[in-house]
Structure 1
Amino acid sequence: MMNFRVLTLGVLLILLITACSAPTSTTPATAPTAAPAPDTQPTFQQVTLAMSYIPNIQFAPYYVAAAKGYYAAEGIDVTFDYNFENDVLQRAATWPTSGVAFATTSGTSVLLARQQGLPVKTVMTLYQRFPIAFFAKSNVPLASVNDLRGQTIGIPGRFGESFYALLAALYAGGMSEADVTVQEIGFTQSAAVMEDKVPVATGYAMNEPVQLRGQGVEVNVLLAADVFNLAANGIAVSEALIAQNPELVRKFVRASLRGLADTLANPDEAFDLSLQFIPEAQLGDLALQRQVLQESLPFWQNELTAQYGLGYTDGQLWMRTEEFMRSAGLLSAPVDVQQAFTNEFVPGGSY
């Protein structure tokens, strides 16, 4: 029997001679199959979004963007960090030291922060209409701003969006605080109106009035935006982040706007996805929370977003807001409005 080793060497020699004598060709052959890449985990950039309230359905667009992988598709891993309005901008302004790249905040807060020397800028507007409302039982007329004259109006305190909405309404109506009675009632607006402690109160249009209706109370509502609209909530970042990593800002805004678009298109899906981000103890009445989301939708879009795209910031509105805030004494000096926001990261382009 022929030795197996000799046979093998003979076969190899024949193959070698055949390969060397074969004609060459310049016609490209099928591209060789690349060696499979080693298994690697995708690298994500860790960012923190400081949110100006507790986990809440009002943040649905951001929850949807996270749940549907839109941030991940941009290479971003977002941590939601819940705070309060007077803290988020300070943290965003000191990026990267603070670790907070993005913050949810209002345009009024950005203007106040810039006057204080904080280099922050709004890069995306969520609320196109200021979300505060005046509300009362149906026996109290609230057809126009003139109906506020002579009324006792309950507000949480002389701070924040509810207070600014009151001052803006008085400003638009040619009134001062002397024309109304302002009563500080803390965050008890719904109960205060229901129990007739105050005839009128301020609150979020998609919250307190919805709560009262859910309890069978008929209410009249006067939207602050219908009296005097103000620059409202969106996403703000530091000027340093824009200068050093504009692509990160662009990716974050793009993913967030995808979440917003999906929320507007399918609020039921958005509600269900958002529940995984809100602790069960804070959910409360699910039917009520679903209605809160439904009534938020009109505040996130208007004729400008139809023209320029979701997230657009209205420069004219910001200028009117700055003028009002100076008139009301909220700003002690002019603020350069065009440095306080940018549209370069949203579909509408620059201001």
Structure 2
Amino acid sequence: MKLRFMLFLTLIIFIITACSAPAPAPTAAPTTAPAANPQPELRTVTLAMSYIPNIQFAPYYVAAAKGYYAAEGIEVNFDYNFENDVLQRAATWPASGVAFATTSGTSVLLARQQGVPVKTVMTLYQRFPIAFFAKANVPLASVNDLRGQTIGIPGRFGESFYALLAALYAGGMTEADVTVQEIGFTQAAAVMEDKVPVAIGYAMNEPVQLREQGVEVNVLLAADVFNLAANGIAVSEALIAQEPELVRKFVRASLRGLADTLANPAEAFDLSLQFIPEAQLGNLDLQRKVLAESLPFWQNELTAQHGLGYTDGQLWARTEQFMREAGLLAGPVEVEKAYTNEFVPGGSY
């Protein structure tokens, strides 16, 4: 009996001890870091540009550098060209691979007259950026001062030639009232060396170069004589019909870059240097002045009212009429089909 009691007591003590002992620590389960959310793949689109890498493209560079295109799910391939077929390449999207092209309104009107289905969806230059320039001893107060002058132009093509014809048109003159001399792309040197008294070039380029060399210049802006539809972004009608949202995203990001460039040119200049080869930078102080001179051409009272990138239909109508009467267009063009403002948001960016 005593033995049974001792065994029972031992069992009770064992049970109490076991129950009061701390539970063994659970074996840690193997852990793995949670999978990061994969970033959506960016869609690459090509922007065919009508010139070499240049500070004039700062708004697009800023949009790329600050991630505005990426925020829209796209990555822009800057495709530089000397050739004049950027519109033709955009027109044949998607076969060409070129979705967007930088080009002038005059070029779009010429293309459409030839049956090329392209349309401007954003205007960068609200004022035609061409200018007549001369040394300070040559008067250039108005278009009448061109009468009887020898005027140097790169050739009978492109924006400089159109500006000359438009100025003569506005002044009631013909080529018989001036002497036109084709000098290639040597306008600044030709004026500097007195090879021609007057030359035509980009307002933010050749006159700025001459001033940088200490030459005082007189400038007559083509836009102050007869403004023409100027540079912007054009796309094919097929792209608009098939992928309007892609067009909207590209324009929206580009206009954010433009707004930032206007608000902070110094930052825009520094960001742009990432996209311009060092060998093409040249004089940085000169290039900063080129950018500064460009800013007023990208905005006006209409952009203040309708938003940056706005296309002025009345300006395009006047341009089309001039081009017909000057013989640049063989026949009328439906101007309202050559551009659209549907992708340009109003207000601020």
In the superposition, the TM-score normalised over structure 2's length comes to: 0.89
- Bigger shift: 41-50 or 232-241? 41-50
SS at match of 1:77: strand
Structure 2 letter corresponding to 1:53: Y
What does 1:1-351 correspond to in 2, within 5 Å? 38-84=36-82, 86-348=84-346
Instruction: Report how far residue 38 of structure 1 moved.
Output: 5.0
Contact (CA 8 Å) 1:85, 1:105: kept in 2 or not? no
In the superposition, the TM-score normalised over structure 1's length comes to: 0.89
Q: Percent identity?
A: 89
Instruction: Report how far residue 84 of structure 1 moved.
Output: 3.1
* Distance 1:38-1:68 versus aligned 2 partners, 3 A rule: closer
Structure 2 letter corresponding to 1:118: V
Contact (CA 8 Å) 1:120, 1:237: kept in 2 or not? yes
- Bigger shift: 231-240 or 83-92? 83-92
Contact (CA 8 Å) 1:52, 1:85: kept in 2 or not? yes
Structure 2 letter corresponding to 1:198: V
Work out the CA distance in 1 between the residues paired with 2:274 and 2:154: 30
* Distance 1:319-1:85 versus aligned 2 partners, 3 A rule: farther
Cα displacement string for residues 71-93 of structure 1 (whole angstroms, at most 9, x for unaligned residues): 00000010000013611001000
Instruction: Report how far residue 43 of structure 1 moved.
Output: 1.4
Cα displacement string for residues 121-158 of structure 1 (whole angstroms, at most 9, x for unaligned residues): 00000000000000000000000000000000000000
Work out the CA distance in 2 between the residues paired with 1:341 and 1:99: 22
Instruction: Report how far residue 45 of structure 1 moved.
Output: 1.0
Work out the CA distance in 2 between the residues paired with 1:86 and 1:122: 16
Cα displacement string for residues 156-206 of structure 1 (whole angstroms, at most 9, x for unaligned residues): 000000000000000000000000000000000000000000000000000
Structure 2 letter corresponding to 1:219: V
Instruction: Report how far residue 291 of structure 1 moved.
Output: 0.2
Instruction: Report how far residue 39 of structure 1 moved.
Output: 3.9
Work out the CA distance in 2 between the residues paired with 1:266 and 1:41: 30
Work out the CA distance in 1 between the residues paired with 2:99 and 2:57: 17
SS at match of 1:319: helix
Q: How many residues align?
A: 321
SS at match of 1:117: coil
Unaligned ranges ≥5, structure 1: 12-34
Work out the CA distance in 1 between the residues paired with 2:275 and 2:85: 21
Contact (CA 8 Å) 1:145, 1:227: kept in 2 or not? yes
Work out the CA distance in 1 between the residues paired with 2:215 and 2:242: 52
Work out the CA distance in 2 between the residues paired with 1:330 and 1:84: 22
Q: Please report the RMSD computed on the Cα atoms of aligned residues, expressed in angstroms.
A: 1.8
SS at match of 1:48: strand
Unaligned ranges ≥5, structure 2: 1-10, 24-32
Instruction: Report how far residue 271 of structure 1 moved.
Output: 0.2
Work out the CA distance in 2 between the residues paired with 1:109 and 1:343: 18
Aligned to 1:21: none
Work out the CA distance in 2 between the residues paired with 1:147 and 1:176: 14
